[in-house]
Structure 1
Amino acid sequence: MAANFWDSTHCKAWILDRAKIECANQKDKQYITLVELRRMRIHYCKLIQLLGSSLKIRQRAIATAIVFFKRFYLKNSFVDCEPRLIATTCLYLSSKVEESITQAKKCAMKMKEIDTTFNFTMNDILECEFYVLEELSFELIIFHPYKSLPTYLQNCGLDCLDTVWGIVNDSYKTDVSLLYPPYIIALGCIYLVAFIKKKDLKQWFSELSIDMKEIWDVVKELLNYYEFDRAPITPAESPEAIYAKLPIKNSNGAPPPIMASAGGR
């Protein structure tokens, strides 16, 4: 395990440029629009959050699961790998990585309560876990913005940890965890809260050795997400309707195609 972010695989292998993210989900784009794809990605981030909260898993582990899910689908598409199974497996895996352990059986049962059409079992999750690990290149250590928040807030004199924490949670529904180091995300969330609360932190930010353009980019990503997510949608634009457009062959409970093909690797 890397002692710090700069020596980690997170820093060296998983801080990506936007072009690589935009190239993901190529097969899905044959069936749904970019707007629909974005709505689906947000939906599964929320689903992981809901499942993790229902299982009383720590927020750090939930955030790690979302990052695992995002990394997995940089290489794969929803039509090939059933997203509800991958989401559940990512949460089960992250619960072990972040020492907030739950059981695969509980994950399957709770997911079935949330979505009655979810027909995967504990064994499916355990089998799928290996393929998720492989697609993640067994690089499982994730650095998050949460740890630095109390220190930053104390230094800048902004007394609103809960508000900033909530915005950090929301940041995982965007792609900033794939684009920027965690300290930049933390500072971006603080900048946004300071702006909302009309707290002038320009002097404090000017004293930090950071690229302010990255901070503003994080803020723009967050504002864009809030605008997108709060816009009213029709039933035809719902995640369920979009999901129905995808020819996911294994939604009846069969193992995902990645399992069938991985044996030949």
Structure 2
Amino acid sequence: MGEPLKAFIDGNCSVEDELHHRYWSSWFFSKEEIEKNSPSRKDGIDLRKESQLRMSYCSFLRDLGIRLGLPQVTIATAIMFCHRFYLRQSHAKNEWQIVATVCMFLASKADETPCGLDRIVVVAYETMHKRDPTAARRVRQKDFFEKQKALILIGERLLLSTLRFDFNIQHPYRPLLNALKKLGITQKEVRQVAWNYVNDWLWTTLCLQYKPHYIAAGSLFLATKLHNVRLPSEEGGYVWWHEFDINPQQLEVVIQQMKQLLGFNRRTSVIQPSIATNKDVYSSPDSVLNRPESSRSSSIQEPDVDITTHKPVDATDHDLTNISIAEKEKSSTEYRTEQRRRGFLKTQLQLLSIMRLWGGMWTE
């Protein structure tokens, strides 16, 4: 059990200000601040390890949310709670499995999609130990169950204190949906890819660096470039980014970092941490979906494009590269329809093409 959780049990907990005072008055920070000022760094957890831990709890929360039948927005809220928690607390002192479960419990209440604590305790434990055939029986044993439940309740107190009871989470989904409607973007592929990008950024620190409407704007731009759709850009008049309350300079910064996250370093053959996806369960902006999905389908390289004119510009280090790894996992059969099955098979074939193209550089 982590030290902060133990401190709550002992009754002498006080949340330590690990970072500068600004960390207690704002939830948006620069990439450098997030990477260098993490409390985990003081406990010997380097950036690479922390990134792996972030991917682990995001994957867990996605799976847990699916098993609980919770909406995508609630899953996103739980992920944001977890991100914010680890801005102020160390991974070394707080096991992500417990913290993430607490975040899902709190998110279900904050988003008014309540899910009983008993059910969350059981399903979370089964999800953590999904390869253990004895887990389901073990978590239902009274003493064991009560112990797990107590940990979640204790963890909730720490989470509330760390978040300072700030449950105001804004997601990019609504700004994106509003812009798609106002801009008259009806192409299903563009809408879906933009939505999927928004889901993907949840697994990164982008949502801690930029406001939700900035992320929505960058996601829409990348989606339209991927499908060669031109956005409105009348000189001296209305331009598409006005829908997102963002200026071209801010948008360019966001887009460049998104492209870096989607790309990889060819010189060292090190792929950026992949953004996991569950293709058995689909979500879509057209149904304001409840189920999570990640992006994309193929590896596509395009030159940099000016966000105003949509014309190529000179670039050497940045390609608009669209790469994803589909991760097939079992989920409840009630969600599996013929349409989802076909979509998953299509993704697998495209993934196989990517793996062949890069000569086995991709690994599961």
Choose 18-27 or 41-50, whichever is displaced more. Answer: 18-27
Q: Distance in 2 between matches of 1:55 and 1:220?
A: 36
Counterpart for residue 124 of structure 1? 151
Cα shift at 1:60: 1.0
Q: Distance in 2 between matches of 1:96 and 1:80?
A: 26
Normalised to the residue count of structure 2, the TM-score between the two structures is 0.55
Q: Distance in 2 between matches of 1:207 and 1:114?
A: 43
CA distances 1:12-41 after superposition (whole Å, capped 9, x unpaired): 621223333123444456544422321221
Q: Distance in 2 between matches of 1:193 and 1:89?
A: 34
Question: Secondary structure in 2 aligned to 1:121?
Answer: helix
Alignment partner of 1:62 is 2:106: no
Counterpart for residue 240 of structure 2? 205
Choose 142-151 or 12-21, whichever is displaced more. Answer: 12-21
Residues 49 and 217 of structure 1, relative CA distance in 2, 3 Å threshold: farther
CA distances 1:52-81 after superposition (whole Å, capped 9, x unpaired): 111111111111111111111011111101
Alignment partner of 1:39 is 2:74: no
Choose 52-61 or 91-100, whichever is displaced more. Answer: 52-61
CA distances 1:150-188 after superposition (whole Å, capped 9, x unpaired): 220122232243322221111111112111111111111
Q: Distance in 1 between matches of 2:246 and 2:226?
A: 21
* Residue from 107, 121, 124 that aligns with 1:94: 107
What is the identity, as a one-letter code, of the residue corresponding to 2:30? D
Contact persistence 2:30–2:209 (CA under 8 A): yes
Question: Secondary structure in 1 aligned to 2:160?
Answer: helix
The structure, 1 or 2, with the larger RCO (C-alpha pairs under 8 Å, 6+ apart) is 1
Contact persistence 1:45–1:66 (CA under 8 A): yes
* Residue from 195, 218, 229 that aligns with 2:273: 229
CA root-mean-square deviation: 2.4
Question: Secondary structure in 1 aligned to 2:273?
Answer: helix
Residues 224 and 103 of structure 1, relative CA distance in 2, 3 Å threshold: farther
- In structure 1, the gaps of 5 or more residues are 1-11, 232-265
What is the identity, as a one-letter code, of the residue corresponding to 2:240? F
Cα shift at 1:202: 5.9
Amino-acid identity (%): 28
Question: Secondary structure in 1 aligned to 2:94?
Answer: coil
Alignment partner of 1:158 is 2:185: yes
The within-5 A match list for 1:17-28 is 17-28=30-41
Q: Distance in 2 between matches of 1:35 and 1:216?
A: 26
Question: Secondary structure in 1 aligned to 2:175?
Answer: helix
Alignment partner of 1:168 is 2:198: yes
What is the identity, as a one-letter code, of the residue corresponding to 2:209? L
Normalised to the residue count of structure 1, the TM-score between the two structures is 0.74
Question: Secondary structure in 2 aligned to 1:36?
Answer: helix
Q: Distance in 1 between matches of 2:119 and 2:257?
A: 34
Contact persistence 1:24–1:73 (CA under 8 A): no
Counterpart for residue 95 of structure 2? 82
Q: Distance in 1 between matches of 2:43 and 2:153?
A: 30
Choose 40-49 or 53-62, whichever is displaced more. Answer: 40-49
Q: Distance in 2 between matches of 1:163 and 1:33?
A: 32
Q: Distance in 1 between matches of 2:241 and 2:162?
A: 40
* Residue from 242, 250, 255 that aligns with 1:219: 255
Contact persistence 2:43–2:90 (CA under 8 A): no
Q: Distance in 2 between matches of 1:165 and 1:156?
A: 15
Q: Distance in 2 between matches of 1:206 and 1:92?
A: 36
Larger radius of gyration: 2
Q: Distance in 1 between matches of 2:148 and 2:230?
A: 52
The structure in which a higher percent of residues are helix is 1
What is the identity, as a one-letter code, of the residue corresponding to 2:32? A
Question: Secondary structure in 2 aligned to 1:110?
Answer: helix
Q: Distance in 2 between matches of 1:206 and 1:129?
A: 39
Q: Distance in 2 between matches of 1:146 and 1:24?
A: 29
Cα shift at 1:148: 1.9
